[in-house]
Amino acid sequence: MDFSIAPELQQLLDRYRAFVRERILPLEPVIAAKPFVDGHAELEALRDEARAAGLFGPQIPKSLGGLGLGFREHALVSEVLGHSPLGHYTFNCQAPDAGNMEILHLFGTEEQKQRWLVPLAAGALRSCFAMTEPDRAGSNPTWLETRAERDGDHYVIHGRKWFTTSADGAAFAVVMAVTNPSAPPYARASQIIVPTDTPGYRQVRRIPVVGGEGSGWASHSELAFEGARVPVSHRLGEEGAGFLIAQERLGPGRIHHCMRWIGICERALELMCQRAASREIAPGRMLGTRQTIQNFIAESRAEIDAARLMVQHAAWKIDVEGTYAAREQISTVKFFAAGVLGRVLDRSIQTHGALGLTEDTPLSGFWRHERAARIYDGADEVHKSVVARRILRGYGLDVGQQAGTTHG
């Protein structure tokens, strides 16, 4: 394994780092303090700067106007952009659009690519991915209730989804729906593109998360499909291939989430150290002289470095052997990095005291949005079970199959 960074990639990372530091961070207090829709003009101006700088769409193929970075290269960029809650959106590599671009690129027809992928890659529209359901356990993704029934050359979709990130203002949803209830569990569902202006598609509400409802891209919605009728040509891939496509999307996506979380951790550690070095607890005595705070800093440094190496190892294995071969490493880094994220954020908030709970720093926003890291894309407990089962098989114990880890 070679985790060294080529000089050309290092130069590119330095350019991203400089853009985040010089252009995005100064605007955080202005843009992040507003609802997403109210800060849209400023964000679009930042995106125009990113385009002009040749940094827009790091993961997007060159044929679509992006940089065409490889998997590990983009993972490293993702860490840099994670320093700001605006980072990934500024460069058009934000979830869920990045994942939808990937599956459209891999599985979309030429018609689908022209209609949805090209404008998505250009940043001209947004999308969402509708999988999780209010009345079905997300830890068992095969147990979907939403149905897409064939009616001639159309599907008619009935069901309800929730925690559909970025649905507010999205142009289309990629919907996981059961198309063949009698098929084996992982062959029952298909992914179907549903334009949000389709009759029968309804955004029920934006769901408040830890007290914040959000708007636009920075929100999560509950959706209703009440006889939404779309052509069969809107289906991605073969009928029943929904879970196969989901794994192509979610496995690598978990790695990019993890690297984004590491970027958040680095920002939280930086803020923690600044606070420790500048906050007086008595005349002439700084907060950082306390051993507890020193432990916070040392433990955070060690955990962040360990998580980064684990994630890079998983990314290396994906590059060399493919997503399927790396599934144990993907599950391991997902729950490990999510745990590190929670602990580092908590330490930084604790170090800031009451200030850490306010909107005067990005810490409370990070906490509000990222506590879900231990839930989405497979709850930590499910990933731990996956890893443990695979290890135990090597000792001759087969504990059987449990719920999967495919999450929306």
Note the pLDDT of residue 161.
98
257 and 374 assigned to the same domain = yes
Q: Which of 182, 210, 238 is the last residue of a domain?
A: 238
Residue 352 lies inside a defined structural domain of this protein:
yes
57 and 16 assigned to the same domain = yes
Residue 407 lies inside a defined structural domain of this protein:
no
User: Where is average pLDDT lowest: 61-70, 301-310, 319-328?
Assistant: 319-328
133 and 225 assigned to the same domain = yes
Please compute the mean of the pLDDT values over residues 12-35 and round it to a whole number: 92
Note the pLDDT of residue 132.
93
169 and 199 assigned to the same domain = yes
**Biggest alpha carbon–alpha carbon distance for the chain:** 79
User: Where is average pLDDT lowest: 64-73, 169-178, 341-350, 393-402?
Assistant: 393-402
Q: Is the pLDDT of residue 178 over 60?
A: yes
Note the pLDDT of residue 154.
98
User: Where is average pLDDT lowest: 71-75, 228-232, 274-278, 297-301?
Assistant: 71-75
Each residue's pLDDT tens digit, 41-82: 999 999 999 999 999 999 999 999 999 998 889 889 999 999
Q: What band does 297 get if pLDDT is binned at 50, 70 and 90?
A: very high
- For residues 84 and 77, what is the distance between their CA atoms, to the nearest angstrom? 13
In percent, the amount of the chain with pLDDT more than 70 equals 97
In order of 153, 244, 362, the CA distances from 27 in angstroms are 49, 40, 12
176 and 91 assigned to the same domain = no
* HEC per residue, the chain: CCCCCCHHHHHHHHHHHHHHHHHHHHHHHHHCCCCHHHHHHHHHHHHHHHHHCCCCCCCCCHHHCCCCCCHHHHHHHHHHHCCCCCHHHHCCCCCCHHHHHHHHHHHCCHHHHHHHHHHHHCCCCCEEEECCCCCCCCCCCCCCCCEEEEECCEEEEEEEEEEEECCCCCCEEEEEEECCCCCCHHHCEEEEEEECCCCCEEEEEECCECCECEECCEEEEEEEEEEEEEEHHHEECCCCCHHHHHHHHHHHHHHHHHHHHHHHHHHHHHHHHHHHHHCEEECCEEHHHCHHHHHHHHHHHHHHHHHHHHHHHHHHHHHHHCCCCCHHHHHHHHHHHHHHHHHHHHHHHHHHHHHHHCCCCCHHHHHHHHHHHHCCCCCHHHHHHHHHHHHHHCCCCCCCCCCCCCCC
CATH number at residue 345: 1.20.140.10
Q: Mean pLDDT, the chain, as a whole number?
A: 93
Please list the residues that pair with 209 across neighbouring strands. Answer: 212
Q: Is the pLDDT of residue 7 over 80?
A: yes
- For residues 312 and 304, what is the distance between their CA atoms, to the nearest angstrom? 12
Residue 403 lies inside a defined structural domain of this protein:
no
Residue 286 lies inside a defined structural domain of this protein:
yes
Residues 111-135 as b or e (16 or more Cβ within 10 Å = b): ebbebbbeebbbbeebbbbbbbbee
Residue 1 lies inside a defined structural domain of this protein:
no
Q: Which of 213, 238, 263 is the last residue of a domain?
A: 238
Q: Which two tokens stand for residue 80?
A: 């840099």
Q: Is the pLDDT of residue 26 over 70?
A: yes
Q: Is the pLDDT of residue 207 over 50?
A: yes
260 and 367 assigned to the same domain = yes
Structurally, the chain folds into a number of domains equal to 3
Q: Which two tokens stand for residue 295?
A: 């432990």
Q: Which two tokens stand for residue 30?
A: 């202005």
Q: What band does 140 get if pLDDT is binned at 50, 70 and 90?
A: confident
383 and 247 assigned to the same domain = yes
CATH number at residue 43: 1.10.540.10
161 and 179 assigned to the same domain = yes
Residue 402 lies inside a defined structural domain of this protein:
no
Q: Is the pLDDT of residue 405 over 50?
A: no
Q: What band does 322 get if pLDDT is binned at 50, 70 and 90?
A: confident
Note the pLDDT of residue 205.
97
Q: What band does 251 get if pLDDT is binned at 50, 70 and 90?
A: low
State the burial class of residue 405 (Cβ atoms within 10 Å of its Cβ: 0-12, 13-18, 19+).
buried
Q: Residue 98: give the domain boundaries.
A: 7-121
160 and 257 assigned to the same domain = no
Q: Is the pLDDT of residue 305 over 90?
A: yes
Q: What band does 32 get if pLDDT is binned at 50, 70 and 90?
A: confident
314 and 376 assigned to the same domain = yes
Residue 404 lies inside a defined structural domain of this protein:
no
Please compute the mean of the pLDDT values over residues 269-293 and round it to a whole number: 97
Q: Which of 184, 214, 238 is the last residue of a domain?
A: 238
Note the pLDDT of residue 315.
85
Rg, C-alpha atoms of the chain? 21
How are beta strands 127-130 and 172-178 bridged, if at all? Answer: parallel
Q: What band does 319 get if pLDDT is binned at 50, 70 and 90?
A: confident
139 and 276 assigned to the same domain = no
* pTM across the whole model: 0.91
383 and 263 assigned to the same domain = yes
Note the pLDDT of residue 401.
57
Note the pLDDT of residue 192.
98
Note the pLDDT of residue 403.
47
Each residue's pLDDT tens digit, 330-382: 999 999 999 999 999 999 999 999 999 998 999 999 999 999 999 988 889 99
Each residue's pLDDT tens digit, 72-116: 898 899 999 999 999 999 999 999 999 999 999 999 999 999 999
Please compute the mean of the pLDDT values over residues 123-141 and round it to a whole number: 92
- The residue count of the chain comes to 408
User: Where is average pLDDT lowest: 151-165, 244-258, 262-276?
Assistant: 244-258
CATH number at residue 141: 2.40.110.10
Note the pLDDT of residue 108.
97
96: cis peptide before it, omega within 30°? yes
Residue 27 lies inside a defined structural domain of this protein:
yes
Q: Is the pLDDT of residue 139 over 80?
A: no
